[in-house]
Structure 1
Amino acid sequence: MLRITDLVKRYAGGDPVLKNLDLTVEGESVVSIIGSSGAGKSTLLRCINKLVEPSSGSIVLNGMELTTLKGRKLREARRKIGMVFQGFNLVDRLTVMENVQSGRLGYISTWSAISRRYPKQDIRRAYELMERVGIAHYADKRADELSGGERQRVGVVRALMQEPEILLADEPTASLDPKTSEQIMQLLRDLARELSLPVLINIHNVAEARQYTDRIVGMRYGRIIFDGPPAELDETAMDRIYSGSPAADRASPQPEPVS
């Protein structure tokens, strides 16, 4: 379970990007975060894996408080937080297998990583996951020879190689064509079920959020102003998420988190 309580992120000299935010994600649920650019969606994900440092508040993953971790303990905790990126973040000159194995860097020795001598069980697991997402036949191809959808599948497998306790996805379909976007969203949904893995997705495409996720969180000006199943995301909620004024949001209480 991921439990976020009273989370604030403020950059020097500016207003808070996240404002006393509460959120709980658990089980095998697939949760989408929607909202206009600047709502704080990406900042929220980056606070969870501490790519940016929260200003205050609590982020607890399966009983571990993440906000206080530093050094080795932080690196160990990050192994349990898989991340799928909009821009794929692959090393183009490396093969698919080598990119996938980078998900094991937190588990193997520096020498094994540099020499690319991966443990047999890691190679076996990589093939299993690549077969599951349909890219096993690309294992020895360079990453820059793949299509966008294939590259994103590599990114998904790399994240799963970490043996994560939660999977974060930051605009995973933004660089893809509509058909491939739907395939990636269906894949994330299926993997959540198969691996009993909670998935938190930052996404602009509301139609995909409605179709492929179990729960939608709507953000505006750093606050959660909608939290519920897709069926409850009506026009009134959409207006508040995408057209609401800062003053209206300050006057509205944050909705009760869905667990």
Structure 2
Amino acid sequence: MLKITDLVKRYGSGDPVLKNLDLTIEGESVVSIIGSSGAGKSTLLRCINRLVEPTSGTIELNGTDLTRLRGKNLRAARRKIGMVFQGFNLVDRLTVMENVQSGRLGYISTWSAITRRYPKQDIRRAYELMERVGIAHYADTRADQLSGGERQRVGVVRALMQEPDILLADEPTASLDPKTSEQIMGLLRDLSRELKLPVLINIHNVNEAKEYTDRIVGMRYGRIIFDDKPAMLDPAAMEAIYAGSPHADRSGGPDDKAAAS
């Protein structure tokens, strides 16, 4: 279970980007975070995995307060937080298998990583996951030869190789065409069910959030102002979340060209 309590993030002396935020996620639920650019969505995800340092508050994952961890204890905790990135974050010159195995860097020795002598059980698990998402036949293909959807599937498998307790996805479909976006969202939803894994997705496409997630969290100016089932996201809630946003798409969500917050 992820439990965030009274989370604040401030950069310098400016107003907080996150303002006394509370959020709890548990089970195999898929939760989407929506909101205009600048609402604090990406900052929230980056605070959870400590890519950004929270100013105050607590972030507990299965009872461990991540905000108190340092050094090797923090590195160990990060292994349990899978991350899927908008820009894929693959090493283009490496093969799909090599990129996938980078998800095991926190578990294997430096020598094994440098020489690419991966444990047999890790190779076997990688093939199982790649088969599940439809990219096993690309195992020996360089990452730069793949399409955007294929690259994102590699990113998903890499994150799952960490054996995470939660999966974070920061705008995972923003760089993809509509059809591929739906495939990736469906994949994340199905994997959550199969692996009993909570998934937290920062997403700009409200229609996809409604279709593929169990719960929608709406943010505005660093605060959560909506937290309910997709069916409850009515026009009034949309207006509260996106009112005055230059990126608001009144047909269902913010413009696809809007930058991630």
For this structure pair, what is the TM-score category when the shorter chain's length is used for normalisation?
Answer: over 0.9
The aligned residue for residue 19 of structure 1 is 19
1: distance between equivalents of 2:235 and 2:77? 39
- CA-to-partner distance for each residue in 1:142-186, whole Å, 9 max, x for gaps? 000000000000000000000000000000000000000000000
Structure-to-structure mapping, 1:192-203, within 5 angstroms? 192-203=192-203
Residue 155 (structure 2) aligns with: 155
Whole-Å separation in 1 of the counterparts to 2:232 and 2:208: 15
In structure 2, the residue matched to 1:72 is: 72
Q: Distance in 2 between matches of 1:35 and 1:121?
A: 41
Percent same amino acid at aligned positions?
87
In the TM superposition, residue 244 of structure 1 has moved relative to its aligned partner by 6.4
**Ranges in structure 2 where 5+ consecutive residues have no aligned partner:** 246-261
| Deviation digits for residues 107-156 of structure 1 (CA, Å, limit 9, x no counterpart) | 00000000000000000000000000000000000000000000000000
Structure 2 residue aligned with 1:243: 243
Distance 1:29 1:119 in 2: 31
Counterpart in 1 of 2:206?
206
**Superposed structure 1 runs of 4+ greater than 3 Å apart:** none
Aligned residue identity for 1:71: G
Letter in 2 for 1:10: R
The answer to whether residue 216 in structure 2 is matched with residue 216 in structure 1 is yes
- Tell me which amino acid in the other structure corresponds to 1:15: D
Query: What TM-score, normalized by structure 1, do the two folds share?
Result: 0.94
In structure 1, the gaps of 5 or more residues are 246-259
Distance in 1 separating the partners of 2:197 and 2:176: 24
State the Cα distance separating 1:189 from its structure 2 match.
0.1
Task: Report the 3-state secondary structure (helix = DSSP H, G, I; strand = E; otherwise coil) of the residue aligned with 1:67.
Answer: helix
- Counting only pairs closer than 5 Å after superposition, residues 40-59 of structure 1 correspond to structure 2 as 40-59=40-59
2:250 alignment partner in structure 1 = none
What secondary structure, in the 3-state scheme, does the structure 2 residue paired with 1:51 have? coil
Supply the AA of the counterpart residue of 2:23: L
Structure 2 length normalisation: TM-score? 0.93
Specify the alignment match of 1:97 in structure 2: 97
Secondary structure, counterpart of 2:20 in structure 1 = strand
